[in-house]
Amino acid sequence: MKILVLSSFYHPDVGGVPVFLDCLIKNLTNAETQFIVVTKGYSDSLQVELNETKVYRLKAFGKFREILGKSWKSAISKRFEISSYAKEYAKSIVDLITNERPSIVHAHDVPSYLLGCEISSILNVPLVFTSHSVPTTLQGIPYSEEGLIFWKDLYKEACYDILTVGSNFALTKCLEAGAPQNKVEVISPGVDVEKFRPGLNGEIIRLKLKLESKSALIFSPVRPDPRKGLIDVLRASTKLLQHIENFLFLFSPSSDEYLTSTELVSTVSESIRRKLKFYTFHHDEMPLVYNASDVVVIPSRIETFGLSAAEAMACGKPVIATNAGALPELIQNNVNGILYTPGEIDELAKEILEVLSNRGKAEKLGEEAAKSIRNKQLSDKACAQKYKALYLSLVS
């Protein structure tokens, strides 16, 4: 069985989608199952990587995503134009992978899905569409009412055989958008629980940050995106400074988000800026970063799963997150983490102070967090096996 993966984001890109694909491909690749990845490239010439997984990096893939992004605000009126581009690029991809003969096409974002509809039709194979966001987020795309309607129409038209989402929250949003109930399945992304586990020595991270031994490390692994709620953390730091002196808020933007992050921080006072640190970590370093932290804050306005929260919980860390999106599906308030109302800065600051001052509570929350991730079978291996069963059901 060969799976053709279409995704705008793939290693070495950072974020939830590349992590998801890495876990899926790593856990399922064997003599019977192989993956072929088609993703965006930056070179004018075709780049083909030949490891266990063959990866085609195409500049044209990125070009199509760019065209769609520019057309998004008027997506309905430009539907024919978008469809024409999708057919053109899909044909070029099919010509490229003629000898691969995939059994299934698996798409991971809207541009990939539009290409996947054409490719699966040409090859006469099933299409799986994994929606890592939902029609209310428009992540990474300028919001417009027309663009939102266009996105919902894609769910209604359902050229996919199966639409997979990561949570019951995402399932509800997709059904509200018009996706057929018999074509939607919840498969939560998995955490590599062998890598993300309690008890790792995070001292090397604290040394890298030049952090004093008595200083509390508060980690917030969010992007500088309004939907990720970074502003809550910046405002909460002002409140914390009124009560404690020895703390550091740590953020880990990707290298291309670093400038946006620092521009946002420039809006707060100098005394607060001294308490904020931006450091770009590789994903392989994240288990150590979580273990080095005293508390992890997820201030997102919306999450369709909450991979960063799940990774921190798997490491046995107390997580304070908003009661938004799918986060309450991971966190039971004051049992395996803490939930607060988005935008309620006093509430967030109070909860951070409580966790930092009550070591017994922090340890109990962390223990229950790690236990819950394993009990809910949210490992990457469990996720991969669910996708394997799905693939086999589609090709049988």
pLDDT at 138: 43
Closest CA to 205 of 189, 221, 193: 221
> Which one has a higher pLDDT value, 253 or 245?
245
**Cα separation, 192 vs 190, whole angstroms:** 7
Say whether pLDDT at 131 is over 70: yes
**What residues have CB less than 8 Å from 9, skipping those under 6 apart?**
15, 17, 18, 39, 108, 109
Task: Give the range with max mean pLDDT: 131-145, 146-160, 295-309.
Answer: 295-309
End-to-end CA distance of the chain: 11
pLDDT at 72: 64
**Cα separation, 271 vs 350, whole angstroms:** 20
Encoded tokens for 260: 């946006």
Say whether pLDDT at 339 is over 90: yes
CB atoms within 10 A of CB 29: 16
Say whether pLDDT at 259 is over 60: no
**Do you find a cis peptide bond into 12, omega within 30 degrees of 0?**
yes
8 A C-beta contact, residue 308 and residue 284 = no
8 A C-beta contact, residue 108 and residue 130 = yes
Q: How confident is the model at residue 352 (pLDDT cuts 50, 70, 90)?
A: very high
- Among 51-55, 108-112, 133-137, whose mean pLDDT is lowest? 133-137
Between β-strands 276-278 and 247-251, what pairing exists: parallel, antiparallel or unpaired? parallel
8 A C-beta contact, residue 150 and residue 72 = yes
Q: How confident is the model at residue 125 (pLDDT cuts 50, 70, 90)?
A: very high
**Cα separation, 222 vs 337, whole angstroms:** 18
pLDDT tens-place string over residues 60-101: 787 787 777 776 666 666 777 778 888 888 998 999 888 899
Q: By three-state DSSP, how is residue 40 classified?
A: strand
Say whether pLDDT at 241 is over 90: no
**Cα separation, 304 vs 302, whole angstroms:** 7
> Which domains are delineated in the chain?
2-190+379-395 (3.40.50.2000), 203-375 (3.40.50.2000)
Instruction: Identify the residue whose tokens are 């109302």.
Output: 341
Sheet arrangement for strand 247-251: 276-278, 247-251, 216-220, 295-298, 319-322, 338-340
pLDDT tens-place string over residues 273-327: 788 888 888 889 999 999 999 999 999 988 999 999 999 999 999 999 999 999 9
Say whether pLDDT at 239 is over 80: yes
Q: Mean pLDDT score of the chain, rounded to an integer?
A: 88
Q: What percent of the chain has pLDDT over 90?
A: 57
**Cα separation, 238 vs 225, whole angstroms:** 20
**Do you find a cis peptide bond into 111, omega within 30 degrees of 0?**
no
Q: What is the number of H-type helices and E-type strands within the chain? A: 16, 14
pLDDT at 256: 54
pLDDT at 264: 64
pLDDT at 257: 55
pLDDT at 263: 62
Encoded tokens for 71: 């057309």
pLDDT at 142: 47
Long-range contacts (CB closer than 8 Å, 24 or more residues apart) made by 91-94: 91/118, 91/122, 92/60, 93/38, 93/56, 93/58, 93/61, 93/119, 94/119, 94/122, 94/123
How far is Cα of residue 138 from the mean position of the Cα atoms in its chain? 14
Closest CA to 86 of 108, 107, 55, 111: 111
> Which one has a higher pLDDT value, 281 or 37?
37
Cα-atom radius of gyration of the chain, to the nearest Å? 22
Q: How confident is the model at residue 133 (pLDDT cuts 50, 70, 90)?
A: confident
Identify the DSSP state of 323. Answer: S
H or E segment to which residue 375 belongs: helix 359-375
Say whether pLDDT at 25 is over 90: yes
**Cα separation, 38 vs 5, whole angstroms:** 6
pLDDT at 396: 84
Instruction: Identify the residue whose tokens are 């569409």.
Output: 129
Rounded mean pLDDT, 181-195:
95
pLDDT at 254: 62
Identify the DSSP state of 208. Answer: H
pLDDT at 139: 46
Rounded mean pLDDT, 229-256:
82
Rounded mean pLDDT, 161-177:
94
Encoded tokens for 217: 């490390």
Instruction: Identify the residue whose tokens are 């790792």.
Output: 200
